[in-house]
Chain A
Amino acid sequence: MTTDTLPAGDDVHLRARIDRSLRFPLLFFFTSAAGWLCLSSLLGFVSALSLNVPEWFDRLPALHYGRLYPVHVNALIYGWAMQAGFGVSLWLMARLSRNVLRNPVTLVVAGHVWNLVVSVGLLSILLGWGTSMPWLDFHRGISPVLVISYVSIVIWIVGMFASRAEKSAFVSQLYILASVFWFPWIYVTANGFIHQDDGAAVMKAAVNSWYISNMIYMVLAPVALAASYYIVPKVTGRPVFSYALANIGFWSLVLFTGWTGMSRYMGGPLPAWLPTVGGAASIFLLIPALAVVYNQVKTMEGKLAWANYSPALRFAFFGSIAFLVGVALNAIVSTFPIGRTLQLTQAQGGIDLVAVYGFFTMTMFGAIYFIVPRIVGCEWPNGPMIRFHFWFSAYGIGAIAAFMIFAGLAQGHVIANYTEEFITAVERGKPYLAALAIGWFLIGLSNLSFVAQLALMVIRRGRRDDEGPTLIHKKPEDYFTHELVTEKAAQA
């Protein structure tokens, strides 16, 4: 993270060896994640469509909104987000701990199990075995297998950290460890309380909302933050602006996230202090978000324009800004004056997508654009196509979030005006939901271009000339590229 000088020869060889050891597991995770992402974008489009023209889906029970929407969300989370996270975490941990991955085969096997579990889970929703519990829709029998396969994947990440050569730890490593530690905990907690405990039914819904929030901010977000804490200094060639601030950002996230989530059911049949605590914690999440974004902007100071050229930097920078926006929106809807209107409308889904797509997914794209050339030994085939991917994704997610929030405002406004007929709320929301379908269509197009490029990289048909990394625009004179060139030379 602090290599702002040319690496020594041995170092280059070590990195090349690390990258080679990770090639197959990483390509496996990235390609299967990208596949799920395409499927999820398509289903996002179809499910938005089904809200507008439900009569098209009358004879197709498996394609009703109530089944398609959860499949779309769960494919996005467990298919794409978790797997992209596995790949990026593995690579970051290996590089930062300076450890070669010793069991690529075991990891690929565990990855297959994960994909199998996700496929069976999604099928269980489509075939009518879903639970209608957001983000936990898989049939209950699937959860133990999912946890086992998760642990058998991340055990290698923890192992690499435990056997690292240097005694110090980077903030990126801490983020990854926290994420790896938290997922089994919340997943087992949520499934245990919901399916095994015979307690109050309302508490189970509360645990569900707590789970969603923790998935976003303590399982997905740390991986993306780890990636951007790696990418930003690497690409700009500057050390992290402030390590103290990085620590504050990390520990405040760890401290506050566990309390968030239940504000989704404010006014619900719960002890009122539960949503209240959740709302307060959501506002406190602004502290880590501000710390992280300020730190990154300061790190990039003077080199902000490079986000025009480096795909990794551009996606990661967009992601960080979206993190701040997502946390801010989440804080705003956690308060009564605004939450009472936007609660129980399309808006919350849009705000979750700002975090899951605008922040996490975009940062993962950046990390994948950074990592894949290093593990396959050739550069991305086409810069303008990356530009296409960026703009269509950025406009797509922007449009989706905006339209979902506007739809929520329109619906919430009618519901708040209790003399108006409820069907008016449905009518007012409809135009925005039509636009939502367009947003997912844009995102689907952009992801097709991403998958096409990734496929070329997997079969190692990328660029192999001596012009350095593929950039979005033609590179300026002072662009910092020596690190990439030397590594490529070492791999050749």
Chain B
Amino acid sequence: MNSLKPFLILIALAFLMPWLVLIVYPSARLKAYVTEVAYAKEDDTKDAVFPTGRSYLVAGARVYAANGCAYCHTQMIRPTYAGADRWRSGWSGREEDGLARETLPFDFLGERYAYLGVQRNGPDLSNVGHRIKEAKWHYDHLYNPRKVVAGSIMPAFTNLFTTRPVVGQVSELAVDVVDRGGSQYEVVPSGEAKALVGYLLGMKKDQKVPKSIVAK
């Protein structure tokens, strides 16, 4: 290897191949594969991937990322050949309706990034929207995890809550009421907490697989 040029050409080729095959090509393919097709009543035969209508998806995902939720929670139900996630009760979707399944690419439609996760220091959240249907549960849990789930190692996200004086009745969403110098203060979820909980309540990755995708 006596000069820089042939060496650079060789390593460029060695790098270009996997780059094209593993990244450029599947990205282009998947982009076409999971495109939303708007539902049109007059064309009911067209089996579309319906927009899930989660407008808070992006805001919620941002709070999810900022607080590093993805470092302990996964959003990835593996098929039976790669683990037992499918059989764990409540993880893979509505079993009673026969909708439980592994996670598929179109489950992340409308999201900017799929937080598949790194480790399971906490449970998988793919279908947490089916398991927990009340926002209040989430607020209590985020504010004081060990009060709700014994033995939890989740930190308390007190930064997602604000304290304000009680005016009239205590808010329905208040997770705590504190007494400061005779006057009452309530701890209520901030906008960030609401976005995050909206994101979690909408986490239902068990939609029926559209025929258009199965056929491809």
Q: Do A and B come from one complex?
A: yes
Which A residues are within 8 Å of any B CB, using their own CB?
A: 50-52, 54-55, 57-59, 61, 64-67, 69-70, 128-134, 161-162, 167-169, 174, 177-178, 181-182, 185, 189, 193-194, 197-207, 210, 251, 254-255, 258-259, 262, 265-271, 274, 277-278, 336, 339-341, 343-346, 348-349, 411, 415-418, 422-423, 425-427, 429-430
- A200 contacts B84, CB within 8 Å? no
Contact A59 B121 (CB under 8 A): no
Q: Which residue of A lies closest to B68 (CB)?
A: A66
> Are B67 and A269 in contact, with the CB atoms below 8 A?
no
What chain A residues lie within 8 Å of B108 (beta carbons)? 200-202, 269
Closest to B2 in A: A167
A-B contact pairs, 21 of them (CB 8 A): A70-B71, A130-B68, A177-B4, A177-B7, A181-B8, A182-B11, A189-B19, A189-B23, A194-B113, A199-B31, A200-B27, A207-B27, A269-B103, A277-B21, A278-B22, A339-B82, A344-B120, A346-B121, A415-B85, A426-B151, A430-B153
B88 touches A269 (CB 8 A): no
Q: Is the interface of A mostly helix, strand, loop or mixed?
A: helix
Q: Which residues of B contact A128 (CB under 8 A)?
A: 66-67, 159
Q: With A and B bound together, what is the CA distance between A405 and B105 in angstroms? A: 29
Q: Which residues of B contact A64 (CB under 8 A)?
A: 67-68, 155, 157
Distance to closest chain B CB from A58 (angstroms): 4
Across the A-B interface, give the 6 residue pairs with the lowest CB-CB distance, nearest first: A66-B68, A267-B82, A267-B78, A258-B18, A61-B159, A200-B30
CA distance in complex: A52, B30 (Å)? 40
State A204–B70 Cα separation when bound (angstroms): 14
Closest chain B residue to A416 by CB distance?
B84
Partner of A340, one of B34, B82, B115: B82
Known contacts A129-B66, A268-B103; is A169 also within 8 Å of B157 by CB? no
Let me know if B3 is at the binding interface, CB within 8 A.
yes
The distance in angstroms between the C-alpha atoms of A174 and B3, with both chains bound, is 11
A200-B30, A202-B114 are known contacts; what are 13 more A-B pairs with Cβ within 8 Å? A61-B159, A69-B68, A131-B65, A185-B15, A199-B28, A201-B108, A201-B114, A202-B105, A267-B79, A269-B103, A346-B121, A423-B151, A423-B152
| Chain B residues touching A, range | 35 or more
Q: B89 → chain A, closest Cβ, in Å?
A: 8
Q: Which residues of A contact B105 (CB under 8 A)?
A: 200, 202, 269-270
B residues near A267, Cβ cutoff 8 Å: 76, 78-79, 81-83, 102
| A132 engages B68 (CB within 8 Å) | yes
**Which chain A residue shows the least CB distance to B87?**
A418
CB distance from B13 to the nearest CB of A (A): 10
B119 touches A346 (CB 8 A): yes
CA distance A185 to B115 in the complex (A): 23
Residues of A within 8 A of B48 (CB): none
What B residues does A134 contact at CB under 8 A? Answer: 71, 118
Question: Which chain B positions have C-beta within 8 A of A129?
Answer: 66
Out of A51, A133, A182, A193, name the residue touching B23 (CB < 8 Å): A193
**Contact across chains for A58 and B155 when beta carbons are under 8 A apart:** yes
The CB with the most chain B CB atoms within 10 A, among A131, A207, A425, A427, is that of A131
Tell me whether B112 is interfacial, beta carbon within 8 Å. yes
Bound together, the chains give a CA A416 to CA B66 distance in angstroms of 30
Q: Please name all residues of chain A whose beta carbon is closer than 8 Å to the beta carbon of B115 when the two chains form the complex.
A: 132, 205
Contact B68 A344 (CB under 8 A): no
Residues of B with Cβ closer than 8 Å to A? 1-4, 7-8, 10-12, 14-15, 17-19, 21-23, 26-31, 33-34, 64-72, 74, 76, 78-79, 81-85, 87-89, 102-105, 107-109, 111-123, 145-146, 149-159
> B119 touching A345 by the CB < 8 A rule?
yes
For A251, list chain B residues within 8 Å (CB).
14
Inter-chain contacts of B34 with A (CB < 8 A): 200
Cβ-defined contact, A174 with B158, below 8 A: no
Give B160's nearest chain A residue, CB to CB: A61
Give the nearest-CB partner of A57 in chain B: B155
Looking at the assembled complex, report how far the CB atom of B5 sits from the nearest CB atom of chain A, in whole angstroms. 10
Residue of B nearest to A341 (CB): B83
Known: A189-B23, A426-B121. A65 touches B82 (CB 8 A): no
Chain B residues near A202 (CB, 8 Å)?
A: 30, 105, 108, 114, 116
In the complex, the answer to whether B14 meets A254 with C-beta atoms within 8 Å is yes
Beyond A132-B70, A207-B23, is A345–B120 a contact (Cβ under 8 Å)?
yes
Chain A nearest CB, measured from B44 CB (Å): 26
Closest A residue by C-beta to B63: A128
Is there contact, CB below 8 Å, between B154 and A54? yes
Output the least CB separation between B178 and chain A (Å). Answer: 14
Tell me the bound Cα distance from A267 to B85 in angstroms.
10
Closest Cβ–Cβ distance, residue A389 to chain B (whole Å): 30
Q: Which one of B14, B23, B158 contacts A61 once the chains associate, using CB atoms below 8 Å?
A: B158
CA distance A343 to B19 in the complex (A): 24
Q: Which residue of B lies closest to A408 (CB)?
A: B119
B113 CB contact (under 8 Å) in A66, A69, A204, A271: A204
Distance to closest chain A CB from B158 (angstroms): 6
**B102 in contact with A269 (CB, 8 Å):** yes
Flag if A66 contacts B72 (CB, 8 Å): yes
How far, in Å, is A272 (CB) from chain B's closest CB? Answer: 9
Contact A66–B88 (Cβ < 8 Å):
no
Q: Hey, which chain A residues are within 8 Å of B114, CB to CB?
A: 201-202, 204-205, 269
A349-B78 contact in complex given A65-B68, A161-B4, A200-B108, C-beta closer than 8 Å: no
- A168 closest partner in B (C-beta): B2
- Report yes or no: B65 in contact with A415, Cβ–Cβ below 8 A: no
| CB pair A201 B149 closer than 8 Å | no
Question: For A181, what are the chain B residues with a Cβ–Cβ distance below 8 Å?
Answer: 8, 11-12, 15
- List, in ascending order, chain A residues with CB within 8 A of B103's CB: 268-269
